[in-house]
Each structure stands twice: as C-alpha cells, then as structure tokens.
Amino acid sequence: MRRIGVHIALVAGAALTLAGCGFADVRAPVPDFMRGKAPDPPTLGTPPDVKLLLRQKLDSVFVAASQPTHVRVSEPRPNLRGPGWTACVKAEVVSVTGKPLGTQTYRIEISDGVIADRQKVEAEDTCTSESYEPV
C-alpha cells in the first residue's frame, strides 16, 4: 500500500513539474498547437560603410609597422555566425625588417558599427572569390 502511495506521489509531482513548462520548444516532436512560436530573426539594418571604418581604424586590421598600401575591401555581407556584418580586406604589407610580404587578406567582423574581430583568410575561404574596391 505504501508503495502505491509513493508511485502516485512521484507521478503527481512529475505532472505538476511538467505542467509548469508551458509550451514545448519550437523543434519538439509535438503537435503544432503545443509548440512555442519561433523567434523572429534579428533585423540587420543598413550595411556599414566599411571604407569609412577602415580609413578611421586601419590599425584594427593591419599592424601599423606593416605599412599597408593598396588597401582594398569587399562588399559587407550579413554574418552567418551571429549578428553583424563581415567583409574581406586586402593590402600589400611589409615585415618589420622592411621586406615585402605581398598581399595579406583578412576577414573582418563588424558589430554595432565597430570592427570587432579579424581573421587571416585561408585558401579555401570565400574571400578569394570576392570583388574588391580601393579604400
């Protein structure tokens, strides 16, 4: 008898706990009327003026000692990994000893109108197929 009471208490507790959950997740395998509404994608707004950003803060992409010349930039694209924008930047740079290193290409991430991150581009990156304009 005691065992049945414990089972009833456990089932009742589980039912009350699940009742407080409300609607199921958007991807849950339940009927549509039980699912929560999918969140709206964030709005991106207007693309940033990447040329202006680079003119103001070129040192956030290239080290000043590398003396970047012939700086070129691609069109900004929505960032697929999060909010914000991405663009590709190319420039001719030199080493600290003054030896030419050739063209260096970086992918920059722009968030809230600021260059938030930069990453050196690998050979398989999409920056190789972008069209570039001088800054």
Is the entire prediction scored with pTM above 0.85?
Answer: no
Element (H, E) at 106: strand 100-111
Q: What is the distance between the alpha carbons of residues 70 and 33, in angstroms, rounded to a whole number?
A: 58
- pLDDT tens readout for residues 44-99: 778 999 999 999 999 999 988 899 999 999 999 998 887 889 999 999 999 988 89
Burial of 122 (0-12, 13-18, 19+ CB in 10 A): exposed
Task: Give the chain's length.
Answer: 135
Q: What is the DSSP letter of 28?
A: S
3 pLDDT band, cuts 50/70/90, is confident
